[in-house]
Structure 1
Amino acid sequence: MTVSAAQTDAFYREALEHGTVWAVRDEGGFPAPATPEGRAMPFWSLQSRAQTIVESVPAYHGFEAVPIPLTDWRSRWLPGLERDGVQVGLNWSGLAATGYDLPPADVERNLSAREVSG
Structure 2
Amino acid sequence: MSDYSEAQISEWGQQNEEQRFELFLGLTVKHKQVWALSDDEGCLIVDSDGEQLLPVWPLEVFASNAAVEEWQGLKPLAISLDDWQEKWLPGMENDVIDVAVFPDLEGSSEVISAQELAVNTKLQKKKAPMA
| Alpha-carbon separation, structure 1, partners of 2:123 and 2:50 | 25
Runs of at least 5 residues in structure 2 that lack an aligned partner in the other structure: 1-14
- Note if 1:68 corresponds to 2:79: yes
Amino acid of the residue matched to residue 96 of structure 2? G
SS at match of 1:101: strand
1:42 matched residue in structure 2: 55
Percent identical pairs in the alignment equals: 22
| Alpha-carbon separation, structure 1, partners of 2:116 and 2:108 | 18
Total equivalences in the alignment:
114
Amino acid of the residue matched to residue 76 of structure 2? A
SS at match of 1:92: coil
| Alpha-carbon separation, structure 1, partners of 2:50 and 2:81 | 25
1:77 matched residue in structure 2: 88
2:24 matched residue in structure 1: 11
Instruction: Give the greater-gyration-radius structure (CA).
Output: 2
Amino acid of the residue matched to residue 107 of structure 1? L
SS at match of 1:45: coil
| Alpha-carbon separation, structure 1, partners of 2:19 and 2:69 | 24
| Alpha-carbon separation, structure 1, partners of 2:49 and 2:25 | 23
Amino acid of the residue matched to residue 62 of structure 2? R
1:111 matched residue in structure 2: 121
What is the TM-score normalised by the length of structure 1?
Answer: 0.90
What stretches of structure 1 move > 4 A for 4+ residues in a row?
none
